[in-house]
Amino acid sequence: MAAYSINVNGETKKVDVASDTPLLWVLRDSLGLVGTKYGCGIAQCGACTVHLNGTAVRSCALPISAIGTSKVTTIEGLSKEGDHPVQQAWQEVDVPQCGYCQAGQIMSAAALLAKNAKPTEEQIATAMNGNICRCGTYHRIKEAVVLASSKMK
Amino acid sequence: METLSKTSRRDFLKLGLTAGGGLMLSFNWSDSVAAIMNTSGEALAANVDFNSYLSISPDDVVTIFSPNPELGQNIKTSFPMVVAEELDADWKKVKVVQAALDVKKYDRQLTGGSGAVPHSWERLRKAGATARQMLIEAAAKIWNVAASTLTTANGFVIHPNGTKLSYGALATDAAALTVPTEVKLKNPKDFKLIGTVVPNVDNKEMITGKPLYGLDFYREGMLHAMIQRPPSFGTKIKSVDATAAKALPGIVDVVTFKNNVAIVGKSTWEIMKARKVLKVEYENAGNVESTSDHDKLFKELLDKPEATVRRKDGDVETAFKNAATVIKREYQCPFLSHAPMEPMNFFAHVKADGVELIGPTQTPDRARMATAQLLGIAPEKITVELTRLGGGFGRRLQADYVVEAAELSKLINAPVKVTWSREDDMMGGSYRPAVRYRFEAALDTTGNLIGYKLRGVGVNAGNSTREDNFPSGAVANLLIDSIDHQSPITTGAWRAPITNFLAFAEQAFLDEVALAAKKDPVQFRLDLLDKAKQTPTGAIKYDIDRMKSVINLAAEKSGWGKKKNLAQGFSVYFSHRSYVAQVAEVEMVSGNPVLKKIIAASDCGIVINLSGAKQQVAGGIVDGLGHALYGQVTFKDGAAEQRNFNNYKLIRYNEVPQVEVHFVDNGIDPTGLGEPALPPTGGAVANAIFKATGKRLYNQPFTLQEEMKGVKLGQKM
């Protein structure tokens, strides 16, 4: 066990966990931020996607010891009112079915658009291909990413 | 035409004033659900079948309580829309609340299959119409006019002179009135909300990461647990050495019960780590089977003289003897994992005076009864709270993972949440059964289908056929039988049970038969349906005209046979009371066949929520395609060889073709859509691939077959 101080959603959080504890379980078990989901534990499904300094990463395969001073953003911290352009688009297009994977999908899309506000179809596919949706909402995910892109300032 | 619908005293119960005034009506959401309503904690009436209610508060807010588990089938949005439609409520002021989940109120809650809509349609409509009628009567009294002169719209009762009173303003007066015994239902032509696009009522919570799912449930003092189950079906524990696991930080206990070893600890990661050093030895305790055994067995069973006859029409033997052409083909599908994105989990707290169960289940009552039986306590002492379900696909119809949590809680005398890893989920629990089919068709010299045989053989598949489905009824001489092999590998309902594979095999086979009969595949099916109508053989479960209507709509929307540069494949299937036809399109792009598009025509009667309905169809197609392409669990000495998404491949974003969704508009009472769009997809795709490449697919998963080589997927979704 070791004490770690990490920056999550703009706040400094202190946790006492083993150094190999994945960020996913720190967020969920220690910090009560359950919007980031467990799906596979081996960085295959993308349900646990968060931003590390703005880049989409799989938190299930990222040990707490590797975070350092990097800024972690989770779905809870993507926007204050849940009105990030990607979140707006997700609601307007009515993307979710069961909804379990959608936080991860949104985080992947938001990271893409932050770096590239007007992605091509191929760039969207590359960014979204790491996120599995078992319900098969891929068509609406695409539609929502394109809509969010049009909303990006 | 307006329908008069009689309500009985048992249909509705007026609960009178809510705390702040207003109207509260209880009603039965679905036939499969019974409940005892109460207010302020007191039972109003015993044995009254009410499980939902709507309230209208003085500030115009209409609240509709939803008792059913929501797993992505859109029930929590679509059902209240039906109530709101007949009520003429303003949807913007409708609040949908997951009803307080308490077995004292909800005796038997269940969400299963695609049956909820047909069961509940009229009840939901009557609930809305009854409240509307009472609000009209309250306004008629105030204005001193005949109720028949008043109309309603958008949450208001309207006087002929244009004066309006809001529902909220009338609610308290309405609550003082007698519940009407006869109400008018709308003419479906006048629906304003039904048939429109209404976004999911939980969207905001889902897109902001609110705790909604079972795995999101945490409580102060709760312990975490993971359970090591036998890695191979047909084995049992020989010895357990938990010394190293127990010594690790955060580990509270390691408990062995039945064939389970539970690691109990303070956090998920700590128990995951302890599992790695847990030493459990297993020994054989029954048949330890491998996929190679099943492959061999299937071939034997297909040739076995005796089988369970499911349907026999005419004289099959003579028909095949007299045939000019006989076509005989076999199709095989592997086991599949349900693999909902949220792995299995449940919270249980067994206390001296009762049991608390919280988590994702499609059948809370089954979970409760199974727990009661196991622990030997009265069901009334068990409460089940439902969370949202991160997918189900049939897996959460079973209670194994709930009972296990309860048993562990009792053993450790503590509240505990049991979480399954993805590996646990794929290596245990249950699977879509592996099945092999043999189809045989006899054609006469003019290409008429004079004989038809189907044998299904499966592993724990039960009846692997659907004997009263198409083409039964259209063939004079027909034999359908099946043989089931009992295995320690547990199976269960998987989205569109049996038909999720049978439809592919049948529709791919009929494509070959049509070709041999020198007929267009669409015309061949239409001709068979005409035959079933004009000279029917035996009983059938499908409606011939409805099946024809989806065939014709899919052919029309896809421009069937008119697109010269495309290879089109056709498929149509009836399941779960709905009809879906699909056309898959494969295009040759620089020498490679590319699966570009799937066009679907569905008949589920009246479409309630256009957004949800399109989602169910598109999602069903993606699901059907993905599993046909990639899905398979193979077993080696009783153990699943695919254990996570690295080798159990699910379809991804860039592999999905375009999907176009159409509905037949026929005004018939609605039926479900959670399953029916999945079965036809495999057949449409296989038939299109044949058209493009000349190669037939007989086995799933497609991507492991030689015939799929070179076929590209999902270009420009």
**Cα-based distances in Å from B424 to B266, B344, B347, B395, B640:** 20, 9, 17, 13, 10
Judging by beta carbons within 10 Å of its beta carbon (0-12, 13-18, 19+), is residue A93 exposed, middle or buried?
A: buried
For domain A85-151, which architecture applies? Orthogonal Bundle (1.10)
Per-residue model confidence (pLDDT) at position B105: 47
| Superfamily classification of domain A2-77 | Beta-grasp domain (3.10.20.30)
The continuous run of DSSP H or E covering B87 comes out as: helix B75-87
**Residue with tokens 């909303």, as numbered in its chain:** A151
Domains of chain A by residue range = 2-77, 85-151
Q: Show the low-confidence residues of chain B (pLDDT under 50).
A: 1-10, 15-18, 30-51, 101, 103-108
Q: Is domain B307-322+431-713 classified as CATH 3.30.365.10?
A: yes
The answer to whether residues B675 and B503 touch, using CB atoms and an 8 Å cutoff, is: no
Of B202, B270, B653, the CB nearest to A125: B653
Per-residue model confidence (pLDDT) at position B70: 81
- How big is the A-B interface in CB pairs under 8 Å? 189
What is the mean predicted confidence (pLDDT) over A124-148? Answer: 98
Give the pLDDT confidence of B468-488 residue by residue, as tens digits.
999 999 999 999 999 999 999
What is the mean predicted confidence (pLDDT) over A21-50? Answer: 98
Q: How confident is the model at residue A141 (pLDDT cuts 50, 70, 90)?
A: very high
Per-residue model confidence (pLDDT) at position B386: 85
Per-residue model confidence (pLDDT) at position B23: 80
What is the mean predicted confidence (pLDDT) over A118-144? Answer: 97
**Cα-based distances in Å from A94 to B101, B344, B574, B609:** 27, 26, 28, 12
Domains of chain B by residue range = 3-207, 214-285+344-419, 307-322+431-713
Of 3.90.550.10, 3.30.365.10, 3.40.50.920, 3.40.1170.10, which CATH number belongs to B3-207?
3.30.365.10
Per-residue model confidence (pLDDT) at position B4: 46
Give the pLDDT confidence of A40-76 residue by residue, as tens digits.
999 999 999 999 999 999 999 999 999 999 999 999 9
Tell me if chain B has a CB within 8 Å of the CB of A102.
yes
Distance CA B467, CA B469 (A): 6
Note whether B209 contacts A103, CB cutoff 8 Å: yes
Tell me if chain B has a CB within 8 Å of the CB of A28.
yes
Per-residue model confidence (pLDDT) at position B99: 63
The answer to whether residues A84 and A142 touch, using CB atoms and an 8 Å cutoff, is: no
Of the candidates B559, B662, B558, B541, the one whose C-alpha atom is nearest the C-alpha of residue B604 is: B662
Note whether B204 contacts A91, CB cutoff 8 Å: yes
- Provide the chain A residues 49-88 that lie in CB contact (below 8 A) with chain B: 74-76, 82, 87
The continuous run of DSSP H or E covering B238 comes out as: strand B235-241
- Provide the chain A residues 114-153 that lie in CB contact (below 8 A) with chain B: 121, 125-126, 128-129, 131-142
What is the mean predicted confidence (pLDDT) over A114-123? Answer: 97
ipTM of the complex: 0.98
Note whether B341 contacts A98, CB cutoff 8 Å: yes
Overall fold of domain B214-285+344-419: Aldehyde Oxidoreductase; domain 4 (3.30.365)
Of B73, B268, B618, the CB nearest to A136: B618
Check: pTM over 0.90? Answer yes or no. Answer: yes
Note whether A75 contacts B209, CB cutoff 8 Å: yes
The continuous run of DSSP H or E covering B237 comes out as: strand B235-241
Same fold, B3-207 and B214-285+344-419: yes
Smallest CA–CA separation between B659 and chain A, in Å? 8
Q: Return the percent helix, strand and coil in chain B, to nearest 5.
A: 30, 30, 40
